[in-house]
């Protein structure tokens, strides 16, 4: 399945590298590919995009619009605060009818730590995207765990849970199949796109757990 990953940060890179490894043709989308390749500031993984890309030659780099146009499934790996702008640049015409796997969170660190929620409790990034792009089939998932565990959940000592939220049953089935490819086994369908509020609002607890445990290498398992 041709996949476009919107976002060149560590989350986008991690997901793109793993999807490439699984055999999917992957293009990463960015605002300005030339500027991304020229950037000297390393990301949280310590690597500039160019250095990372040299080790992942099969992953293409293109504009948001080109990455979306070529893709059957699009992954929103941009910050939830920037996602609407990123998707506008991708272009509604390039997104229409496609599945969007939205893995973003909207945390506003502008006032320091702990961050504010970037979206009120009556809304979510996923719903904002779905409202503005009604022809896009938005599925929220994977926003509740760190990037390395999104793509390698088997590195934890036991199976854990992930969630899907969305209005389109076929799009959710496509995402669930992709999650299984990534190694997820307990995938809980929370319901329509409004249920994404629940997973987006888990971030404050997630951040405090990372602080208490001293590591982002954990995940929620729903024991029942």
| Residue closer to a second copy (CB basis): 46 or 214 | 214
- Spatial CB neighbours of 77, under 8 Å, sequence gap ≥ 6: 5, 6, 7, 9, 11, 12, 15, 103, 104
What's the min distance (Å) between Cβ of 87 and a second copy?
Answer: 24
Segment contacting a second copy by CB under 8 A, of 84-92, 110-118, 132-140, 168-176: 110-118
Query: Apex CA 147: angle with CA 155 and CA 221, to 5°?
Result: 55
Residues that bind a second copy (rule: CB under 8 A) add up to a total of 39
Enter the tokens of residue 210: 């990372």
One-character DSSP codes across 11-53: HHHHHHHHHHHTT--EEEEES-HHHHHH--S--TTS--HHHHH
Q: Does 187 participate in binding a second copy (rule CB under 8 A)?
A: no
| Dist. CA 37–CA 42, nearest whole Å | 11
Q: Does 8 participate in binding a second copy (rule CB under 8 A)?
A: no
Q: Does 58 participate in binding a second copy (rule CB under 8 A)?
A: no
Q: Which of 116, 131, 152, 180 binds a second copy (CB under 8 A)?
A: 116
| Residue closer to a second copy (CB basis): 48 or 146 | 146
Q: Does 218 participate in binding a second copy (rule CB under 8 A)?
A: yes
- DSSP code for 115: P
Q: Does 215 participate in binding a second copy (rule CB under 8 A)?
A: yes
Q: Which residue has 């476009």 as its token pair?
A: 4
Give bridge partners of residue 102 from the DSSP assignment.
Answer: 76, 140
Q: Does 206 participate in binding a second copy (rule CB under 8 A)?
A: yes
Residues that bind a second copy (CB under 8 A): 114, 116-117, 121-122, 156-158, 160, 163, 188-191, 194-195, 197-199, 201-202, 204-209, 211-213, 215, 217-224
């Amino acid at each position: 399945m041709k996949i476009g990953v919107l976002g060149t940060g560590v989350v986008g890179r991690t997901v793109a590298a793993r999807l490439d490894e699984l055999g999917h043709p992957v293009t990463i989308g960015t605002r300005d590919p030339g500027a991304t390749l020229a950037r000297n500031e390393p990301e949280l993984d310590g690597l500039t995009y160019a250095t990372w890309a040299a080790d992942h030659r099969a992953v293409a780099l293109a504009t948001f619009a080109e990455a979306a146009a070529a893709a059957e499934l699009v992954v929103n790996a941009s910050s939830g605060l920037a996602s609407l702008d990123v998707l506008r640049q991708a272009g509604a015409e390039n997104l229409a009818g496609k599945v969007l796997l939205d893995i973003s969170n909207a945390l506003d660190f502008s006032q320091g730590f702990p961050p504010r929620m970037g979206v009120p409790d009556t809304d979510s990034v996923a719903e904002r995207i779905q409202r503005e792009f009604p022809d896009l089939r938005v599925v929220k998932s994977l926003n509740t765990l760190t990037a390395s565990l999104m793509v390698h959940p088997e590195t934890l000592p036991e199976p854990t849970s992930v969630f899907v939220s969305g209005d389109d049953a076929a799009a959710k089935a496509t995402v669930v199949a992709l999650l299984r490819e990534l190694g997820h086994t307990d995938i809980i369908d929370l319901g329509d796109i409004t249920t994404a509020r629940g997973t987006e609002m888990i971030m404050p607890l997630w951040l405090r757990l990372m602080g208490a445990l001293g590591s982002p290498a954990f995940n929620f398992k729903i024991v029942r």
